[in-house]
Structure 1
């Protein structure tokens, strides 16, 4: 399945990996449907790319459902979802400030894991009604995990748990949706030059880049978008998580 003339939902599409994916969709003739909490950034990207924007919290059922209905109404159907929305924290289980607050753990899991599943299930319900293409495909779903799902560092208990959950549900959801011709994949990025990382001093970014075997630099958002496009275009990619990390294996710190 390619992007041409198809509406693709991108959560977190207002910046970083999501924005790069939205740009790749538009460049290939598709229609980016931007879902983001940040109205200013999300709206700006959607207007520039001649797509559409919905301000939503991915963990809120009614908000996601409204956005999906709006996209289907505008474009007739949606054929893909790329889940990039998420957040991270760094809190030790027991630290100088005391024990890890349970509310914080729940919040990270709610946004990263439950939010991703919420979008998957509601978008899949819309995509199963599509007419299949020549490969029998009705839609493609690409989720974003992290190498922290496998190499979680100190302070990443909540973040790693949420991302490992995304990895863990990839295969069973792919199996659930196989009879409908909807593929499900996950990308686990390493250290990428996102807007959050861009705020770090150059010496910090250089040091992080040197930890990556090859290429010894931070990943760039268009490289993530390139992999998303490759997943869409290759009908045999299904039920798997791909590490996009330059062969890095994170240490404990």
Structure 2
């Protein structure tokens, strides 16, 4: 896709995979709207990046807030790109060591952010893209973020793996659904990435995760994700 003068919406764009994607899109000539939580450093990031970059505070599960964010992006120009990186993790077993079951609210919260949030961003961005005149046979592209956990989840990842598997399942259906609108849908399913979410883990656990990667035995870098966008 030709990015020059296109408007891109990047959720979770204030840090990690999202920020790497923002930088990649700006380098390609796009104008970017960063969507992140109000408590994020999104305004400072947008100001530092310049190039017409804007920020919108929104929880991806909030219909009204995300609708307002997409409307803000439309005011910037033709929305042709969505990169949805906002997500949430958390480690709990189905039955904890003390015998207590995983709180249902924990499962529901992660699925809500990762799966329902993905669909909310997708549907709103796709509706904006559907208004565009086609360029080279397409009106826009929506890029979602899944995870290797969606294919091969580990102990303690039940809600996270389920939510990411849901994103994987959503992708093909949405791609077929939106093909007639000339809007592409795809998903990147990265391995273990060195993101702020992973940064909250103890260093010994991070080192163990890096060592578990066959080759190269290290965590993935956000910039490597950005190269795929």
TM more than 0.5 = yes
Kindly provide the CA deviation profile for residues 82-109 of structure 1, in whole angstroms up to 9, marking residues without a partner as x: 1100101111111126111111111111
| 1:59–1:115 Cα contact (<8 Å) kept | yes
**1:115 Cα deviation (Å)?**
0.6
Kindly provide the CA deviation profile for residues 177-199 of structure 1, in whole angstroms up to 9, marking residues without a partner as x: 00111100001111111123345
Separation in structure 1 between the aligned mates of residue 44 and residue 31 of structure 2, nearest angstrom? 15
Change (3 A) 1:97 1:35: farther
Aligned partner of residue 133 in structure 2, secondary structure: coil
Q: What CA RMSD, in Å, does the superposition of the two structures yield over aligned residues?
A: 1.4
For 1:19, the equivalent position in structure 2 comes to 19
Aligned partner of residue 180 in structure 1, secondary structure: coil
Change (3 A) 1:2 1:201: farther
For 1:232, the equivalent position in structure 2 comes to none
| 1:147–1:188 Cα contact (<8 Å) kept | yes
**1:200 Cα deviation (Å)?**
4.5
For 2:118, the equivalent position in structure 1 comes to 116
In the alignment, does 2:10 pair up with 1:10?
Answer: yes
For 1:184, the equivalent position in structure 2 comes to 185
**1:213 Cα deviation (Å)?**
1.7
For structure 1, which runs of at least 5 residues remain unmatched after alignment? 229-253
User: TM-score, normalized by length of structure 1?
Assistant: 0.85
For structure 2, which runs of at least 5 residues remain unmatched after alignment? none
Mapping of 1:187-198 within 5 angstroms? 187-198=188-199
For 1:166, the equivalent position in structure 2 comes to 167
Kindly provide the CA deviation profile for residues 184-239 of structure 1, in whole angstroms up to 9, marking residues without a partner as x: 000111111112334555554343222212222111001001011xxxxxxxxxxx
Separation in structure 2 between the aligned mates of residue 97 and residue 47 of structure 1, nearest angstrom? 49
Alignment length, in residue pairs?
Answer: 226
| 1:32–1:49 Cα contact (<8 Å) kept | no
User: TM-score, normalized by length of structure 2?
Assistant: 0.94
Separation in structure 1 between the aligned mates of residue 94 and residue 202 of structure 2, nearest angstrom? 28
Separation in structure 2 between the aligned mates of residue 59 and residue 119 of structure 1, nearest angstrom? 8
Change (3 A) 1:155 1:123: same
